Every structure is written in structure tokens, then in C-alpha cells.
Amino acid sequence: MASEDVGNVVQILQDNGKFATLADRLQQAILNYQFLARLMKDGRGFASSPAFQVGSPAHSAFNPGYVAYNGNSQGGIFGGAVTAVSKEWTRAVLGVPGMNYSTLLNRSVDYDQYAAIGNPNYPDEIYRQVQIGLTQMLWDRGEADGYAAHLTNDPLPGTPRHEVLLIEAFGDHQVANIATETEARTADIPVHEPPLLPGRSTAVDPLWDIRPVPSDPHRGSALVMWDYGTPAPPDANLPNRLGQDPHGAGGREIRVGFQALVFLYDHGFFVDVCGGGPCTSDVLK
């Protein structure tokens, strides 16, 4: 999304019949990202422009020939769609991502400000749930839910296979863990095990139907759960409001950065930086 989308989002919250305009903008953004990547990757793009020359003697700030995608939060959510269709890059790191906005909205503290605008226009809670569910059919065009089945193992026609690293923050207040794990399950992305210390998850079957990462290092897609000590999320259609929000904590944990960087290298791979155990961190303390 771009800054000029904000006014349109406010209008949509007041009249959900206008939602298709947002889905159209997201598809345009998917195309924009492909051209941005090509301008970085092709030597005739940014690398040839005086605007991107640095140093003395002047040389390009870009090393053309290879590009990868790294997106976090909204960039992680959007990254599932923009990566699945891409012929420009084959490797992506999606930080605190998810899919299915119809699942995500009520489970995110970020939705509070939007609900304050939208709910007075649609006061019936049952109607709102139906509305969010129906809206998902339009949202599928511009978020990972419409593309996740082709994100890794079953590429879309004319596109290469993609390797994707999903980085999840346990107890995330903004992007619910269930949304991240649904994406991993749909894209058949294996999880680093053990994902959590015993007793941390309240789920009956934590990470149900997500197979383990088969080796270390692993030359393929992976999901890794990072636990910063935040209480477990509620087992309901509610956001987690307990403890400190770990949503952006990965930016303060050097091992997350190392894990992402190794994965993003051309011919990169997933490496266990947690000594064979769960990935825990005290950066929020």
C-alpha cells in the first residue's frame, strides 16, 4: 500500500462496497515490485544511472545480477503474493508474515483504529463477520492467501521455484501466529524443531500438519518460531494483548538478522542459530 491509499481505506471502512478498489491497487503494487526488482537486477537499470553512483571514482551502489526480497510485517504479508508471481527473484525472507486477512483482522491490535471507524457504520457483529469473510474473496487477488499454494513447490506457469524463510514471533500482537502457520501449512514450508519450550503453547496440537525441517543446514524453505517471552496468544478470535509485543523484536536480535542474511544469499540456505533447541531471545527484557 502507499500513502495515497489511506483516504481510500477510510472510505471503504464506511462503505465496504468500495473494497474492490483496494484489491486493484494491491495488484498494481505486485507489478510495481517486479519492475523495481528488475531495475535493481539489470545492469541497464539503476546501476547505469548517475543518481545511483557513489564513491571516487564513481561506481554503482548496486551490484546487478541478483536480487532477493526481504519484507516484514505488512511487507511479510504482501511478500507471499509478490514472491509467488516473481520471475525476478527466487529467494525471500518474510518476517512476522501471515495470510487470510479475514482471519487476521480481529486478531490484530492494529485493527482497533480501523474498527473505530468501520464498526459504527456496520454495528451488527454477526454482519461484520460475514462481511469480512466475503471480502476475503476480493482480498485474495492482492495478498498471500490467493498465491500461497504456488509459493514454493508448485510454481505458477512461467515462474521459477521460490525458497522462502518465514520468521514468526510467538505471541505476536499484530500478526497472529495462526495466520503465519496457515501460510506455512498451505505452502508446505517445514518448521525448525523444537519450535518452543514445553508448555509455552496452549494449542492442542501445536503447528499441526507442518513437517519438521529435515536437516541443518537446510537448502529449502523453512519456518522458524522466535520466542521473546511474550505470553501465549488467546485461543479465540481476539488479539494478544498480554506482555510485550514481540512483533518487531527480530530487528534487535542479531541471530535473526544472521539467519535472514544467510538465507538471502544467492544459493543461500536455512541455518539453525539456536543450538538445536527452540529459538529464544531476551531482547525484550
- Domain map of the chain by residue range? 5-280
Buried/exposed code over 244-263 (b: 16+ C-beta within 10 A; e: otherwise): ebbbebbeebeebeebbeeb
- Would the pLDDT of 170 be above 90? yes
pLDDT digits (tens, 9 = 90+) for 250-273: 999 999 999 999 999 999 999 999
User: Do residues 210 and 186 make contact, with C-beta atoms less than 8 angstroms apart?
Assistant: no
User: Do residues 192 and 213 make contact, with C-beta atoms less than 8 angstroms apart?
Assistant: yes
- Would the pLDDT of 245 be above 90? yes
- Would the pLDDT of 4 be above 90? no
The per-residue pLDDT for 1 is: 84
Task: Say what the pTM is.
Answer: 0.95
User: Span 264-284, mean pLDDT?
Assistant: 96
**Cα(237)–Cα(226) distance, rounded to whole angstroms?**
22
pLDDT digits (tens, 9 = 90+) for 103-118: 999 999 999 999 999 9
CB neighbour list of residue 35: distance below 8 Å, 6 or more residues apart: none
pLDDT digits (tens, 9 = 90+) for 183-241: 999 999 999 999 999 999 999 999 999 999 999 999 999 999 999 999 999 999 999 99
The per-residue pLDDT for 131 is: 93
User: Span 173-180, mean pLDDT?
Assistant: 98
Helix (H) or strand (E) holding 169: strand 163-169
CA distance readout (Å), 18 to 15, 27, 141, 178: 6, 16, 15, 28
pLDDT digits (tens, 9 = 90+) for 54-97: 999 999 998 899 999 999 999 999 999 999 999 999 999 999 99
Sign of the dihedral through C-alpha 236, 173, 21, 120: positive
Residue of 159, 160, 209 lying closest to 184 (CA atoms): 209
15 C-beta neighbours (distance < 10 Å), count: 11
Q: Which three cell numbers stand for residue 108?
A: 490484530
Where does the pLDDT of residue 172 fall: very low under 50, low under 70, confident under 90, or very high at 90 and above? very high
Where does the pLDDT of residue 3 fall: very low under 50, low under 70, confident under 90, or very high at 90 and above? confident
Where does the pLDDT of residue 35 fall: very low under 50, low under 70, confident under 90, or very high at 90 and above? very high
The per-residue pLDDT for 54 is: 94
- Mapping DSSP onto H, E and C, the string for 46-87 reads HHHCHHHEECCCCEECCCCCCCCEEEECHHHHHHHHHHHCCC
